[in-house]
Structure 1
Amino acid sequence: MTYEGRGVAIVSTICGPSGICFDSPKDLRPANQAQGIDSAVETWTGDDFEVTVDQGPFVDPLTRYGERPEFVASDGEVAGRPVRVVEFIDDDGSRVTGAHFPGQQGEGESGVGGTGRPPVTVIVRSSPGMPKDAALQVVHSIRFPGA
Protein backbone atom coordinates (compact mmCIF):
# COMPACT_ATOMS: atom_id res chain seq x y z
CA MET A 1 0.00 0.00 0.00
CA THR A 2 1.40 3.34 -0.98
CA TYR A 3 -0.12 6.70 -0.28
CA GLU A 4 -0.22 9.09 -3.21
CA GLY A 5 -2.54 11.77 -1.92
CA ARG A 6 -2.76 15.34 -3.03
CA GLY A 7 -0.76 16.55 -0.06
CA VAL A 8 -3.02 18.55 2.24
CA ALA A 9 -1.02 21.28 4.00
CA ILE A 10 0.32 20.30 7.43
CA VAL A 11 -0.52 22.75 10.21
CA SER A 12 1.05 20.98 13.17
CA THR A 13 2.81 17.86 14.40
CA ILE A 14 1.22 16.27 17.45
CA CYS A 15 2.91 13.90 19.89
CA GLY A 16 0.86 12.40 22.69
CA PRO A 17 1.87 11.04 26.08
CA SER A 18 2.30 7.59 24.46
CA GLY A 19 5.03 9.02 22.23
CA ILE A 20 2.99 8.32 19.10
CA CYS A 21 3.21 11.33 16.76
CA PHE A 22 1.32 12.38 13.62
CA ASP A 23 1.03 15.38 11.32
CA SER A 24 -2.28 17.24 11.26
CA PRO A 25 -3.86 19.49 8.64
CA LYS A 26 -5.80 21.23 11.43
CA ASP A 27 -4.92 22.86 14.72
CA LEU A 28 -5.97 20.27 17.29
CA ARG A 29 -6.22 20.50 21.05
CA PRO A 30 -6.11 17.65 23.57
CA ALA A 31 -9.61 16.50 24.46
CA ASN A 32 -8.89 13.32 26.39
CA GLN A 33 -5.75 11.60 27.58
CA ALA A 34 -6.66 8.62 29.75
CA GLN A 35 -4.60 5.73 31.05
CA GLY A 36 -6.65 2.70 32.04
CA ILE A 37 -5.57 -0.60 33.50
CA ASP A 38 -5.05 -2.18 30.10
CA SER A 39 -5.19 0.70 27.64
CA ALA A 40 -4.30 4.30 26.92
CA VAL A 41 -6.56 6.61 24.91
CA GLU A 42 -5.53 9.99 23.54
CA THR A 43 -7.95 12.26 21.65
CA TRP A 44 -7.37 15.58 19.91
CA THR A 45 -10.11 17.72 18.41
CA GLY A 46 -10.39 20.74 16.17
CA ASP A 47 -12.81 22.27 13.71
CA ASP A 48 -14.33 19.43 11.67
CA PHE A 49 -11.57 16.99 12.68
CA GLU A 50 -10.83 14.52 15.50
CA VAL A 51 -7.99 12.05 16.01
CA THR A 52 -8.10 9.26 18.61
CA VAL A 53 -5.19 6.96 19.44
CA ASP A 54 -6.15 3.82 21.38
CA GLN A 55 -3.37 1.55 22.59
CA GLY A 56 -3.85 -1.73 24.43
CA PRO A 57 -4.73 -5.41 24.05
CA PHE A 58 -8.45 -4.82 23.38
CA VAL A 59 -8.40 -2.06 20.73
CA ASP A 60 -10.79 -2.21 17.78
CA PRO A 61 -9.12 -4.25 15.00
CA LEU A 62 -11.34 -2.50 12.39
CA THR A 63 -12.79 -5.74 11.01
CA ARG A 64 -16.53 -5.12 11.41
CA TYR A 65 -17.27 -2.14 9.18
CA GLY A 66 -17.59 -3.82 5.77
CA GLU A 67 -21.28 -2.94 5.45
CA ARG A 68 -20.76 0.80 5.98
CA PRO A 69 -21.22 3.20 3.04
CA GLU A 70 -18.13 3.77 0.89
CA PHE A 71 -16.18 1.11 2.82
CA VAL A 72 -12.63 0.52 1.61
CA ALA A 73 -9.92 -1.54 3.33
CA SER A 74 -6.27 -2.11 2.54
CA ASP A 75 -3.29 -3.71 4.24
CA GLY A 76 0.17 -2.24 4.10
CA GLU A 77 2.89 -0.66 6.20
CA VAL A 78 3.24 2.67 8.01
CA ALA A 79 6.31 3.64 10.02
CA GLY A 80 7.77 0.20 9.40
CA ARG A 81 4.81 -1.58 11.00
CA PRO A 82 2.05 -3.62 9.35
CA VAL A 83 -1.27 -1.76 9.25
CA ARG A 84 -4.87 -2.27 8.15
CA VAL A 85 -6.45 0.97 6.93
CA VAL A 86 -10.21 1.30 6.55
CA GLU A 87 -12.39 4.15 5.34
CA PHE A 88 -16.15 4.56 5.47
CA ILE A 89 -18.97 7.02 6.04
CA ASP A 90 -20.45 6.81 9.55
CA ASP A 91 -24.14 7.06 10.45
CA ASP A 92 -23.79 10.78 11.26
CA GLY A 93 -22.29 11.52 7.81
CA SER A 94 -18.74 11.96 9.04
CA ARG A 95 -15.87 10.30 7.20
CA VAL A 96 -13.97 7.75 9.29
CA THR A 97 -10.46 6.65 8.45
CA GLY A 98 -8.97 4.09 10.78
CA ALA A 99 -5.58 2.43 11.04
CA HIS A 100 -5.01 -0.72 13.08
CA PHE A 101 -1.45 -1.73 13.94
CA PRO A 102 -1.42 -5.28 15.37
CA GLY A 103 0.60 -5.91 18.50
CA GLN A 104 3.79 -7.89 18.54
CA GLN A 105 4.96 -10.12 21.35
CA GLY A 106 8.45 -9.70 22.72
CA GLU A 107 10.75 -12.69 22.58
CA GLY A 108 9.68 -15.15 25.26
CA GLU A 109 6.91 -12.81 26.45
CA SER A 110 3.14 -13.07 26.43
CA GLY A 111 2.76 -9.59 24.91
CA VAL A 112 0.59 -8.45 27.82
CA GLY A 113 2.73 -6.53 30.28
CA GLY A 114 5.81 -7.92 28.53
CA THR A 115 8.34 -6.39 26.20
CA GLY A 116 6.17 -6.65 23.10
CA ARG A 117 4.30 -3.83 21.40
CA PRO A 118 0.60 -3.53 22.19
CA PRO A 119 -1.87 -3.14 19.35
CA VAL A 120 -2.73 0.44 18.38
CA THR A 121 -5.79 1.75 16.56
CA VAL A 122 -5.93 5.33 15.29
CA ILE A 123 -9.30 6.78 14.24
CA VAL A 124 -9.54 9.99 12.25
CA ARG A 125 -13.06 11.40 12.07
CA SER A 126 -13.69 14.33 9.75
CA SER A 127 -16.67 16.32 8.55
CA PRO A 128 -18.04 15.70 5.05
CA GLY A 129 -16.45 18.97 3.89
CA MET A 130 -12.88 17.94 4.72
CA PRO A 131 -10.81 16.48 1.87
CA LYS A 132 -10.58 12.70 2.05
CA ASP A 133 -6.81 12.97 1.72
CA ALA A 134 -6.55 14.91 5.00
CA ALA A 135 -7.36 11.84 7.10
CA LEU A 136 -5.20 9.53 5.01
CA GLN A 137 -2.31 11.96 5.38
CA VAL A 138 -2.64 11.77 9.17
CA VAL A 139 -2.60 7.96 9.06
CA HIS A 140 0.44 7.81 6.79
CA SER A 141 2.35 10.31 8.94
CA ILE A 142 2.10 8.23 12.16
CA ARG A 143 5.40 7.68 13.94
CA PHE A 144 6.08 5.48 16.94
CA PRO A 145 8.52 6.03 19.81
CA GLY A 146 11.97 4.68 19.09
CA ALA A 147 11.31 4.39 15.37
Structure 2
Amino acid sequence: MFAAALALSPLTLNTAIAQNETATEERTDAQAIQAIHKEWAELIAEKDSAAIGTLYAENAVLMAPGEPVVEGAKAIEARWARQLTLDGFDFSLTPQQLVVSSSGDLAHDRGSYDFAATLPQGAITDTGKYVLVWQKIDGDWKVIADIFNSNPADAAE
Protein backbone atom coordinates (compact mmCIF):
# COMPACT_ATOMS: atom_id res chain seq x y z
CA MET A 1 0.00 0.00 0.00
CA PHE A 2 2.79 2.37 1.00
CA ALA A 3 4.72 1.54 -2.18
CA ALA A 4 1.64 2.29 -4.30
CA ALA A 5 1.13 5.63 -2.55
CA LEU A 6 4.79 6.45 -2.95
CA ALA A 7 4.65 5.56 -6.64
CA LEU A 8 1.64 7.86 -7.16
CA SER A 9 3.04 10.82 -5.22
CA PRO A 10 5.13 12.20 -8.14
CA LEU A 11 1.98 12.13 -10.28
CA THR A 12 0.03 13.97 -7.59
CA LEU A 13 2.82 16.50 -7.16
CA ASN A 14 3.11 17.05 -10.93
CA THR A 15 -0.66 17.51 -11.19
CA ALA A 16 -0.63 20.04 -8.34
CA ILE A 17 2.27 21.94 -9.94
CA ALA A 18 0.48 21.97 -13.33
CA GLN A 19 -2.73 23.26 -11.69
CA ASN A 20 -0.77 26.00 -9.90
CA GLU A 21 0.98 26.97 -13.15
CA THR A 22 -2.38 27.09 -14.95
CA ALA A 23 -3.90 29.26 -12.20
CA THR A 24 -0.88 31.59 -12.36
CA GLU A 25 -1.12 31.86 -16.16
CA GLU A 26 -4.88 32.59 -15.93
CA ARG A 27 -4.16 35.34 -13.38
CA THR A 28 -1.43 36.78 -15.59
CA ASP A 29 -3.74 36.69 -18.63
CA ALA A 30 -6.56 38.32 -16.66
CA GLN A 31 -4.16 41.04 -15.51
CA ALA A 32 -3.08 41.61 -19.13
CA ILE A 33 -6.69 42.06 -20.22
CA GLN A 34 -7.36 44.38 -17.27
CA ALA A 35 -4.36 46.45 -18.37
CA ILE A 36 -5.81 46.66 -21.87
CA HIS A 37 -9.05 48.00 -20.36
CA LYS A 38 -7.05 50.79 -18.71
CA GLU A 39 -5.21 51.51 -21.96
CA TRP A 40 -8.54 51.55 -23.82
CA ALA A 41 -9.93 54.19 -21.44
CA GLU A 42 -6.83 56.32 -22.04
CA LEU A 43 -7.15 55.92 -25.82
CA ILE A 44 -10.80 56.99 -25.66
CA ALA A 45 -9.80 60.08 -23.66
CA GLU A 46 -7.11 60.81 -26.28
CA LYS A 47 -9.63 60.12 -29.09
CA ASP A 48 -7.12 57.75 -30.72
CA SER A 49 -9.28 55.57 -32.97
CA ALA A 50 -6.25 54.11 -34.79
CA ALA A 51 -4.84 52.72 -31.53
CA ILE A 52 -8.28 51.51 -30.45
CA GLY A 53 -8.51 49.63 -33.75
CA THR A 54 -5.35 47.69 -32.85
CA LEU A 55 -7.12 46.26 -29.79
CA TYR A 56 -9.30 44.22 -32.17
CA ALA A 57 -8.29 41.15 -34.17
CA GLU A 58 -8.23 41.54 -37.94
CA ASN A 59 -11.40 39.42 -38.26
CA ALA A 60 -13.21 40.90 -35.23
CA VAL A 61 -16.89 41.79 -35.24
CA LEU A 62 -18.71 44.58 -33.43
CA MET A 63 -22.43 44.09 -32.93
CA ALA A 64 -24.23 47.25 -31.83
CA PRO A 65 -27.99 47.44 -31.38
CA GLY A 66 -29.90 48.70 -34.40
CA GLU A 67 -26.87 48.57 -36.68
CA PRO A 68 -25.45 46.08 -39.17
CA VAL A 69 -22.52 43.99 -37.93
CA VAL A 70 -19.21 45.84 -38.32
CA GLU A 71 -16.60 43.36 -39.55
CA GLY A 72 -12.84 43.71 -39.38
CA ALA A 73 -10.47 45.82 -37.30
CA LYS A 74 -10.27 48.61 -39.91
CA ALA A 75 -14.06 48.95 -40.13
CA ILE A 76 -14.32 48.91 -36.33
CA GLU A 77 -11.60 51.57 -36.15
CA ALA A 78 -13.62 53.72 -38.59
CA ARG A 79 -16.74 53.33 -36.43
CA TRP A 80 -14.77 54.41 -33.36
CA ALA A 81 -13.39 57.39 -35.32
CA ARG A 82 -16.95 58.54 -36.10
CA GLN A 83 -18.03 58.14 -32.47
CA LEU A 84 -15.02 59.95 -31.07
CA THR A 85 -15.86 63.05 -33.13
CA LEU A 86 -19.32 63.42 -31.58
CA ASP A 87 -19.73 66.52 -29.44
CA GLY A 88 -19.67 65.75 -25.74
CA PHE A 89 -18.57 62.16 -26.39
CA ASP A 90 -17.99 60.25 -23.18
CA PHE A 91 -17.73 56.48 -22.91
CA SER A 92 -16.59 54.10 -20.22
CA LEU A 93 -16.60 50.36 -19.57
CA THR A 94 -16.96 48.85 -16.11
CA PRO A 95 -15.81 45.22 -16.19
CA GLN A 96 -17.73 42.93 -13.83
CA GLN A 97 -16.54 39.45 -14.76
CA LEU A 98 -13.51 38.19 -16.62
CA VAL A 99 -13.02 34.49 -17.31
CA VAL A 100 -9.90 33.14 -19.01
CA SER A 101 -10.21 29.66 -20.49
CA SER A 102 -8.03 26.93 -19.05
CA SER A 103 -6.44 26.63 -22.51
CA GLY A 104 -5.22 30.21 -22.06
CA ASP A 105 -6.12 31.38 -25.55
CA LEU A 106 -9.71 32.62 -25.08
CA ALA A 107 -11.41 34.81 -22.52
CA HIS A 108 -14.73 36.51 -22.10
CA ASP A 109 -15.45 39.62 -20.19
CA ARG A 110 -18.76 41.19 -19.36
CA GLY A 111 -19.78 44.36 -17.65
CA SER A 112 -21.59 47.62 -18.08
CA TYR A 113 -21.00 50.77 -20.09
CA ASP A 114 -21.98 54.41 -19.94
CA PHE A 115 -22.21 56.56 -23.06
CA ALA A 116 -23.03 60.22 -23.64
CA ALA A 117 -22.86 62.45 -26.71
CA THR A 118 -24.63 65.28 -28.42
CA LEU A 119 -26.24 64.38 -31.73
CA PRO A 120 -27.98 66.78 -34.12
CA GLN A 121 -31.26 65.79 -32.40
CA GLY A 122 -29.83 66.67 -28.98
CA ALA A 123 -27.93 65.19 -26.07
CA ILE A 124 -28.22 61.46 -25.41
CA THR A 125 -27.07 59.18 -22.64
CA ASP A 126 -27.11 55.42 -22.61
CA THR A 127 -26.26 52.82 -20.02
CA GLY A 128 -26.10 49.16 -20.87
CA LYS A 129 -24.20 45.92 -20.77
CA TYR A 130 -21.49 44.43 -22.94
CA VAL A 131 -19.68 41.18 -23.67
CA LEU A 132 -16.19 41.08 -25.14
CA VAL A 133 -14.64 37.85 -26.37
CA TRP A 134 -10.85 37.91 -26.35
CA GLN A 135 -8.38 35.67 -28.16
CA LYS A 136 -4.66 35.46 -27.59
CA ILE A 137 -3.09 35.91 -31.01
CA ASP A 138 0.70 35.68 -31.31
CA GLY A 139 0.97 36.32 -27.57
CA ASP A 140 -1.28 39.40 -27.56
CA TRP A 141 -4.90 39.58 -26.36
CA LYS A 142 -7.26 40.92 -29.04
CA VAL A 143 -11.01 41.43 -29.05
CA ILE A 144 -12.67 39.07 -31.54
CA ALA A 145 -16.29 39.88 -30.67
CA ASP A 146 -17.77 43.03 -29.14
CA ILE A 147 -21.51 43.11 -28.47
CA PHE A 148 -23.54 45.48 -26.35
CA ASN A 149 -27.08 46.65 -25.75
CA SER A 150 -28.91 49.25 -23.72
CA ASN A 151 -30.57 48.65 -20.42
CA PRO A 152 -34.34 49.06 -20.55
CA ALA A 153 -35.65 52.53 -19.81
CA ASP A 154 -37.13 52.99 -16.37
CA ALA A 155 -40.86 52.23 -16.42
CA ALA A 156 -43.12 55.22 -16.05
CA GLU A 157 -44.60 55.40 -12.58
Task: Give the TM-score taking structure 2 as reference length.
Answer: 0.29
Q: Which has the larger radius of gyration?
A: 2
Q: RCO (CA 8 Å, sep 6+): is it higher in 1 or 2?
A: 1
Task: Give the TM-score taking structure 1 as reference length.
Answer: 0.30
